[in-house]
Every structure is written in C-alpha cells, then in structure tokens.
Structure 1
Amino acid sequence: MDLNTLWHGFGWPLCRLVFLISLGLLIGNLIEALNWTRAVARVAEPLTRVARLKDITGASFSMAFFSGIAANTMLAEAHEKGTLSDRELMISNLFNSLPTYFLHMPTLFFITVPFIGQAAVIYVGLTLCAAFLRTSFIILLGRLVLPPLPPGCVVCRLDEQASTSWREAIDRTWKRFRQRISRILRITVPVYVAIFFLNRYGAFAAFETFLADHVTFISWLPAEALSIVVFHVAAEFTAGLATAGALLQGGTLAVREIVLALLLGNVLSTPMRAFRHQLPYYAGMFRPSIALKLIAANQTLRAASVILVGIGYYAVS
C-alpha cells in the first residue's frame, strides 16, 4: 500500500471528517446555548390539558427544552412538597422525553452527518419519530389514569429564565466544544484507523464467514454491521459512528444496514446509558428508590419506542 493510496483512502477522509465534526459540533453547541428550541415549549399547555397533567409538569416540560436538570429539579421539589404523587411524578418525568430529545438533537445531527451522511438524516428522523411516539403514549396514559384537573398556568415559570446573550452563548459554546471534541477525537481517530486496516486486510470478510456458519439469530443483519453494534454498546455512540462511517465510505455496508445497526446498538446500549449518564444526577435529585424507578421506566420506554420504529423501517425499506 503506497503513500498515495494511504492518503486518498485514509488520510484525506480522516482530515475531512475531523474538520466536519468540529464545525458541526460548534454549530450544534451554539444552537443549544442560544435556546432556539425554546419556542417549541409553547405546545406544552394544550398537551398537559389533554394528558391531565398539572401546571408544574407543563412548566417542567417547557424547561426541559433548555435544561433537563432544571426540569427534573422542578419535578423533584414538587414531589417532595406533595404537589405531585408518585404516579404523577413518573408520568411527568416520562413526558419530558420529547423536549430532552430536542435539546440534544442539533448536536446529534451535526455529529452524525459527517460520519454517515444520508444515513444520519434517516437515523435522526427515526429516533425523532420514537420520541414523538413516546410522548403520544404518555399523553394517552395520563388521559387514562389521571383525574381531570382545573386549568393552570403552564408558561408562567418560563419568564423566570432570562434569555442567553450572544456573548454568554459563545462562551458556553466554546467551553462545551473543548470538553466534547477532545473526547470525540480520542475515540474517533483510533477507531477509524483500526476499521480502515481491518477492512483493508480482510478481517470483516473472515468475520462474516464465521458468523454465517455459527450465528443464526441475527441473520437479518449483515455480519459487518455487528462491529457497529459492538462499539456502540462497549464504548460510546461516537465509536459506533466512526465504525459506521468507515464501513459506509468503504462500500462495505449500505445506508439501510448502517441505520439498522445503529438502532440495534441504541437499544442494546440502554443499560450502560442508564448507569453512565442518568444515574449520577438522578440519584442527586430523587430518593434512590424513586431514581431507579424513573431511570428504568425512561430507558424501557425509550428502548421500546426505538424497537417499534426500527421494525417499521426494516419492513418498509
């Protein structure tokens, strides 16, 4: 393998990828810092009326568009005061799934696009559909199990949050960028290098032959796609993306297989995500027993919704 082949097949694609990830991460962080998704919070009031949820739930829903921690803090305080019952707390916390997703969707989109291009649009679209599906289920559940409530003021507490200035937004964006980009590159570059050489020297072809002879329960997914799932579960989402990008650019997998593998990794990484990302700050806001119940309900519902949209995508694609 000469230097020209190495540069055009590996060096230049990796440089381009790092540049696009950095640019996308800056844009995504700036959108989050400016709270541009906050306007969507105006949908909270009619939704809470339909779901028979209290005004504190609607205010928490609106708050979750720009701070998930602040939103859960409002619910925890209301629960401690007796304003929300255990059942109402559970449903209210699950209700925040959609704005929490919107909060991180810009960064998710701008990170995935440089890796997998068109597949990113499909993947993010499917996970967004799953978030809407979860919210629809919670609205229906609240309608069925909660008693009717008098009207309240859902948006009153929004005025307590001052708008972020451009200066503050830029400072916050740069701080988040420095924290995230180093972690992403520490994962992306080694994984990209490993996948390039493994693919170059036939490791995936040998792995595919082995699995074809010994594994039957995942016959619907190409053997090469299993590496995406493994990195997604064992490492982080970025590692799975790096693997997916290398396989997609090398022509080893098509867009459909990439999306299905990422969805499967999304589901299988549920326990790891719960303990690594949710447990630390949930345990600080809620009693341990309540925190574990909320985490279990959140991750179970999220995994179920992703499975449903994944089955739908598999059937129609």
Structure 2
Amino acid sequence: MFFDLSWPVLWHGLLWPLMRLTFFISLGLFVGNLIESLHWTRHAARLADPLARRARLKDVSAASFSMAFFSGITANTMLSEAHAKGTISDRELMLSNLFNSLPTYFLHLPTVFFIAAPFIGSTAAVYVGLTAVAAVLRTVSIVVAGRFLLPPVPEGCVPCRLDEAEAMRDKGSALRKTWRRFLERLPRVLYITAPIYAGFFLLKQAGLFSWLEQFMAGQVGFFSFLPPEALTIVAFHMAAEFTAGLAVAGALIADAGLTQYQIVLALMVGNILSSPMRAFRHQFPYYAGIFKPRMAVRLIACNQTLRAASLILVGGVYALVA
C-alpha cells in the first residue's frame, strides 16, 4: 500500500479542498443563523408555502426549499438548526431534506448542461431533461408522502408568524445572536468534518475508491440491453467521472454511430450506478458537520435511494416509449 504524502498532493488533495469546504460550511452556517435571527425565514417561506403546505411541512422547511435554489449548505443549516431546537421532528427533517431535491438539482443544472452540450450536442437536452423530470418526481413524491406521514399544519401559522416577526427591528441584537451561535457551532463543524475528510483522503490514497469504481465498472455486462460500445460509456462514467463518460459518448456518436437513444440510456445507467458512492464520498464530510453523523448517513442513504428510484423510473419509461 503506497501513500503519496508529498506537499503538492497534500495541498491539492487535502488541505486546499478542506479549507474551501470549511469556508463554505462556515459561510452557510453564518448565513443560515443570520436569516433565522432576522426572521427572514418567514419571508422566504412565502415563496414555497403553497407546496410545503400540501406536504404538511412547516415554514422553516418551506424557507429551506427556497434557500436551496441558491445554497444547499445554507438550506441544510436551517433544517439542522430547526431540528436541534425541536421545531421539526426526525421525520420532518428527513422529508424536508428530500423535499429540497428539486431546488438542489436546479442549482447545478446549468453546469451539467453546459458541460454535456459540447460533447453530445442535442442529446444533452434529452439527458438533462430526463434527470430534471426525475427531480420533479422526487419532490412530488415527498409532497404525497408528507400528506400521509406528517400531522396537518395549523391553518394560518405562517402568516401569523410573519406578522409577529415584524416586531423584531433590532438588527444589532440579531447580529450578536448570530455571531454567538456561529461560534458555538463552528468548533463542532471543524472537529467532525476535518477528520472525516482526512480519512476519506487517506482511503483515496490507499486506492479503495479506485478499486471500488473499477470493480463496479466491471459489472456493466449485466446491462446486456445496451450495445458493447454503449457499455464503454457506463464503465468510464463509473471508473472516472461524468466528464469522461461524456467524452466517450461524444466520440462514439461520431465513430460508432450510436443513436441518441443508446447514448441517453448509457448515461442514465452510469449516473444511477456511480452516484451513490460518489455522493457518500463527497457529501458525508460536510453533512456530518451540519447534522449528527448518524443522521447524515440516513439523509444521504435516503436521498440516494429516492434519486436512484426516480432515475430508474424515468429511464425505464424513456426506454419503453422512445
């Protein structure tokens, strides 16, 4: 087992990414606390209130949904703070986090599309469109689940809280409260996130993730409904990264004559198989800094299960009707 712990590897692979992660978590923590202290959550909640009410979610969940269009870390921080204060239960925390699937997806949609378009042209619109439909289905499913799993929200509770919040005008007091809560939470973020991130870095150096990705990529023969050339896209998607799969797809469109239908299905399969491990690898360090580690694992597992189910459903329908 060989560990490359030279300065360039440590800086680019551990120290700089950890500094960036810590900065953005800290920023999200501060902004989330400030929004709550100033009672701006009530105003943000108005934007998503109709949808949240159908899901029987409280105003803080609606505000988190609105905030997730701009910052996933801030949105999760708002939920974590509400859960810590007992405002929302474990079940509502889980559903609220899943409820944010749609804005979280749209936060990254432009990047995904503009990376994919140069490689696969108009096929990118079909692929991104299918993943967008899957994101919408995930949010709709949470709205339906909330109707059965959560108690009704009292009528008029969001407007009345909004009116009551207007009485708070002391911005200086809000800033002091925000700073105090920020200093209380920041050490926990550092104590949990830094060791976990360092552990994942060492596992990567040990080759664990490369071995797992290569092993999973070797199992693509199960998907015999795809031509061999398309299986190459799946393998590269899993063994390397999304861009590598796109590069292979672009080359195969020109050289192997794969159809749009085959390219889209291959990318969907690669997405479904590669995302869970990568999500846990990249999300767990910062999720564990915002939520308790056990809850962080539950949230990531539920997110990935729902995500995979929605992509399988949308991809299956596309395979049947396209």
Alpha-carbon RMSD across the aligned residues, in angstroms, is 2.3
The C-alpha deviation readout for 1:48-102, integer Å capped at 9, x for no partner, is: 1111000000000000000000000000011111111100000000000000001
Name 1:300's counterpart in structure 2. Answer: 305
Aligned to 2:269: 264
Q: 2: CA distance between counterparts of 1:43 and 1:227?
A: 44
User: Is residue 73 of structure 1 aligned with residue 77 of structure 2?
Assistant: yes
**Which residue matches 2:68?**
64
Q: Deviations over 1:128-173 (max 9, x none)?
A: 000011011000000111111123438969xx9xxxxxxxxxxxxx
Count of residue correspondences: 223
The answer on 1:108 being equivalent to 2:125 is: no
The alignment partner of 1:121 has SS state of helix
Q: Which amino acid aligns with 2:60?
A: I
Alignment of 1:1-317 (within 5 A): 44-150=48-154, 151-153=156-158, 217-317=222-322
Percent sequence identity is 66
Name segments (4+ residues, structure 1) moved above 6 Å. Answer: 154-157
CA gap of 1:41–1:133, structure 2 versus 1, over 3 A, is farther
Gaps in structure 1 of 5+ consecutive residues: 1-39, 161-210
**Amino acid paired to 1:311:** G
Q: Secondary structure at the match of 1:144?
A: helix
Deviation at 1:216, TM superposition (A): 7.0
List alignment gaps of at least 5 residues for structure 2.
1-43, 166-170, 172-217
CA distance in structure 1 between the aligned counterparts of 2:45 and 2:319, rounded to whole angstroms:
32
Tell me, in whole angstroms, the C-alpha distance in 2 between the residues paired with 1:49 and 1:140. Answer: 11
Q: Secondary structure at the match of 1:269?
A: helix
Shift of 1:45: 1.1
Displacement of 1:42: 6.5
Q: Secondary structure at the match of 1:46?
A: helix
Whether the 8 Å CA contact 1:233–1:272 is kept in 2: the answer is no
Deviation at 1:266, TM superposition (A): 0.6
Q: Distance in 1 between matches of 2:241 and 2:157?
A: 42
**Distance across 2 between alignment mates of 1:249 and 1:103:** 31
**In 2, Cα distance between the equivalents of 1:50 and 1:100?**
20
TM-score for both structures, normalised by structure 2: 0.66
Secondary structure of the residue aligned to 1:153 is helix
